[in-house]
Amino acid sequence: MANIFSLKGRALKLNNAADLETHIQPLRDNPDISEIHLEGNTIGVEASAALAKILETKSKLRYANLADIFTGRLLAEIPQALDSLLTALLKCEQLHTINLNDNAFGLNTVEPLRPFLSQHIPLQHLYLNNNGLGPAAGTLVAESLAQLAEKKEQARKAGKEVPHLETVVCGRNRLETGSMGAWVNAYTANSHVKTVKMVQNGIRQEGIAMLLQHGLSACGELRVLDLQDNTFTSVASETLANILPKWPALLDLGVGDCLLGARGGRQLGEALAQGNNTKIEVLRLQYNEIDAKGVQAICDAALSSKAMPRLRRVELNGNKFSEEDPMIEKLQELLSSRKESEGKKYPDLDEEDEDAWGLDELDELDDEDEDEDEDEEADGQEADEVEAEEEKVLKEADEAENEPVSQKQDKEVDELADALGKTELK
């Protein structure tokens, strides 16, 4: 703890250097600081400039939490304050993790992010959650990460030891389908990423399909994928099922509240049953209109001795099946017995944590009759024309998927995004 400096959650209003001085001496005096926690305060332009002069001297800094540090600041203040801090952190050559959650980085204030994100070669873990980016600023962020991959590769060729980008958290940012072409390039370039969380971004089915097929499919080391509260429907659900085998290291799949539908639930279960994702521990599938047949497919995969031998947690609340479904009882028994007999094989988990094991509480199920399944199939047929057109467009881009990132590929993906945008379901 001696090398951690924290002002976390103190609700300080630091306007200038004098305001900062009261609190900053321990940071100034310690050359071995490895972590700073400034979240939950509000830092003005002058205070940021003073803080930056101290931060740039911290050569051993590895982790910087700058979440929620501009509450109440004018939009005109944020770019200048942020620029001071990030310019200083660029000089911290061991800084591998930065948390910028809950700061307002819309298009007008995103510009200072670009030099840092595109040039900070040590960066491994990026947290950009709830920043109000929108598709335009989200595109700029993704482009910066693609440029970062190029910088990292140049440094490796020069003989430097450079880590890969491993974590990208960019949720609640209204990225929408319009920015997905840039994110495809970002993930193709940073193909060693292990954790991707892009929840609640208003991404429609064609954007999700493009992201999965032409971006995340390149990330063979992916361990955590959370795309909850975006829109899949049958278009992207089928793509997900097809891409799953490319992620043998996947531990946690979050696609809750994504409108997978009846067909999507079955496709997911059938894909998991193939046994290509044997490390999966968690399935987050709430509120997806998955019916009894989808549950059957998912449970069949779970009950297979070879398909998902480490599965410990399944979230299924808010779907369309009965809690009395016999498959649910079998799944509950499996997960319960696995916790009892194999709990010690998960050393990082608290055995008392109810959210880490078993089924979630099934208190909002919609137990509808079989007619609903027919309705879902009709919805799937409605999407068939879209899928056919999409398949043609995606096939034309298959060659670009495996090429190195280049201006040519960027152009092809942009054309793909434009074409997919015309296939939107109404």
Cα 425 → chain centroid: 24
Tokens of 38: 């400034």
For residue 400, the one-letter residue type is A
The domain in which residue 38 lies consists of 1-104
Give pLDDT, residue 421.
Answer: 43
Give pLDDT, residue 320.
Answer: 97
**188 occurs within a structural domain:** no
**137 occurs within a structural domain:** no
**125 occurs within a structural domain:** no
What is the value of pTM for the model shown?
A: 0.87
Give pLDDT, residue 5.
Answer: 98
**63 occurs within a structural domain:** yes
Give pLDDT, residue 241.
Answer: 98
E strands, 7-163, where?
13-14, 35-37, 42-43, 63-65, 97-99, 125-127
- H or E segment and range at residue 341: helix 326-342
Query: Phi and psi at residue 8, in whole multiples of 5°?
Result: -55, 125
Give pLDDT, residue 396.
Answer: 43
Q: How far apart are CA 368 and CA 404, in angstroms?
A: 49
Q: What is the mean pLDDT for each group of 10 consecutive residues in the chain (426 residues)? A: 92 97 96 98 98 98 98 93 98 98 92 96 98 97 98 98 98 98 98 98 98 98 98 97 98 98 98 97 98 97 93 98 95 94 87 90 80 46 44 41 38 49 40
Give pLDDT, residue 418.
Answer: 53
285, 257 Cβ separation under 8 angstroms? no
Closest to 314 measured CA to CA, from 330, 347, 322:
330
CA–CA distance from 288 to each of 232, 233, 328 (Å)? 9, 9, 16
- DSSP result, 306-329: TT-TT--EEE-TTSBS-TT-HHHH
- CB neighbours of residue 386 within 10 Å: 21
Domain count, the chain: 1
**84 occurs within a structural domain:** yes
**8 occurs within a structural domain:** yes
Tokens of 256: 């809750």
Closest to 47 measured CA to CA, from 9, 13, 96, 6:
13
Q: How far apart are CA 90 and CA 191, in angstroms?
A: 23
The CA R_g of the chain, rounded to the nearest whole Å, is: 23
**313 occurs within a structural domain:** no
- H or E segment and range at residue 424: none
Expressed in angstroms, the distance from the first to the final Cα of the chain is 55
Q: How far apart are CA 377 and CA 34, in angstroms?
A: 55
**78 occurs within a structural domain:** yes
> 78: domain CATH number?
3.80.10.10
